[in-house]
Homo-oligomer: A and B are copies of this chain.
Amino acid sequence: VTRVHVWGASGYAAAEAIRLLSRHPVVELGALESRSHAGEPVGDHFAQLRNVPRCFDGPGSVLSSLAPGDVVVTAGNAGESAQLIPPALARGARAIDLSADYRLDPAAAYGLPEWNRAHIADAALVANPGCYPTAAALSLLPLASLGRVRTIVIDAKSGVSGAGRTPRVDTLFAEVSGDVRPYGLDGHRHQPEIEHTLQLAGIDASVVFTPHVVPIVRGMLVDAYAVFGQAVDAERVRDVFDRAYEGSPFVRVLGAGRVPSVPSVVGTNEAELYVDVRDEVVRVVCAIDNLGKGAAGQAVQNLNVMLGLAEVTGLDARAVLS
């Protein structure tokens, strides 16, 4: 039994990781380190985890309980992972980092299994992608073989849990309700990760990225528009998507007449993709759970790949009927 520790355990993604790991059939929950909630019952902070009979552990608990072969899931603020991960690796553990610290770092495997399984399997350190980059990459990487993309427009709509649990005026119920709010118009922190991932795949287009907060808690929908310099063949596009994801259990490329549904993926590690072509534009619509495939679900998928387990292990829950 592999022990999996969670570090920086007070946010939404960490709580989702605890939920998934506490029901994972193979691994065992290790330390749940939280600076702010040390010693307090997990269920006092996350009502949905009331039946997890654990308290948060205090500072230093992950490192002190770590054994070779353990895995650490790190979910701290920017810059914090760099404090924990090197000593953890030095003790023979492996790490999956939910923060952005290592996403552009060649020393880490980029944790998008659909496009990087082999590296993840052997990696000591996996950089779990951001939620927007996950949806963007699943939507756009199949296009690399179709010719030169001139411009890419990514118009994304995210649930507010993506903004974290630290209280702010702009994430209060009274501010989010009734609004559809564009943000980061001057540049979102995920844009370099999106562009980096596209470039690795050979897509070197100008990217216009507009994220929005919508009044839902979880889940996101990303509409990606790839403007080619010439008309694109719809069947060929369809074909590259089908082939790209035929061995990927979590990605559903939808058939005609079906559109991605955010509620169909919330609480799961699934992604739904719709693709069509309008003259020179390939339009791809992708639904994922920002805390699932966009964070903790993908972390568990990466964990499964790292441990040589079936990717769906512990990730087979149905979405909860609204």
Please report A residues at the B interface, Cβ cutoff 8 Å. 12, 15-16, 19, 22-23, 43-44, 46-52, 150-151, 153, 155, 157, 159-161, 165, 167-169, 171-183, 185, 206, 208, 210, 212, 214-221, 223, 225, 227, 252, 258-264, 266-267, 270, 272, 274, 276, 278-281, 283, 285, 291, 316-322
Return the chain B residue nearest A14 by Cβ: B321
B178 touches A318 (CB 8 A): no
Distance of A258 Cα from B320 Cα, bound (Å): 26
- 16 inter-chain pairs at a CB distance below 8 angstroms, sorted by A residue, are A19-B321, A49-B318, A50-B264, A167-B167, A167-B169, A167-B171, A167-B172, A179-B216, A179-B261, A180-B219, A181-B221, A182-B259, A206-B279, A208-B281, A215-B216, A317-B317
A44 CB to closest chain B CB, in angstroms? 8
* B contact residues around A321 at 8 Å (CB): 12, 15-16, 19, 46, 48-49, 218, 291
Distance of A179 Cα from B159 Cα, bound (Å): 9
A225: contacting residue among B153, B212, B272, CB under 8 A: B153
A185 touches B276 (CB 8 A): yes
B281 touches A153 (CB 8 A): yes
A180: contacting residue among B175, B262, B274, B278, CB under 8 A: B262
A262: contacting residue among B178, B221, B259, CB under 8 A: B178
A198 CB to closest chain B CB, in angstroms? 15
* B contact residues around A23 at 8 Å (CB): 316-318
Given A206-B280, A285-B182, is A319 in contact with B165 using a C-beta cutoff of 8 Å? no
Distance of A181 Cα from B225 Cα, bound (Å): 17
Distance of A16 Cα from B181 Cα, bound (Å): 22
* B contact residues around A151 at 8 Å (CB): 227, 279-281
Return the chain B residue nearest A172 by Cβ: B171
Given A181-B259, A212-B221, A223-B210, is A48 in contact with B318 using a C-beta cutoff of 8 Å? yes
Distance of A215 Cα from B47 Cα, bound (Å): 17
B276 touches A217 (CB 8 A): no
Return the chain B residue nearest A183 by Cβ: B259
A177: contacting residue among B51, B183, B322, CB under 8 A: B322
A264 CB to closest chain B CB, in angstroms? 4
* B contact residues around A161 at 8 Å (CB): 174, 322
* B contact residues around A181 at 8 Å (CB): 221, 259, 261-262
A260: contacting residue among B173, B182, B281, CB under 8 A: B182
* B contact residues around A46 at 8 Å (CB): 321
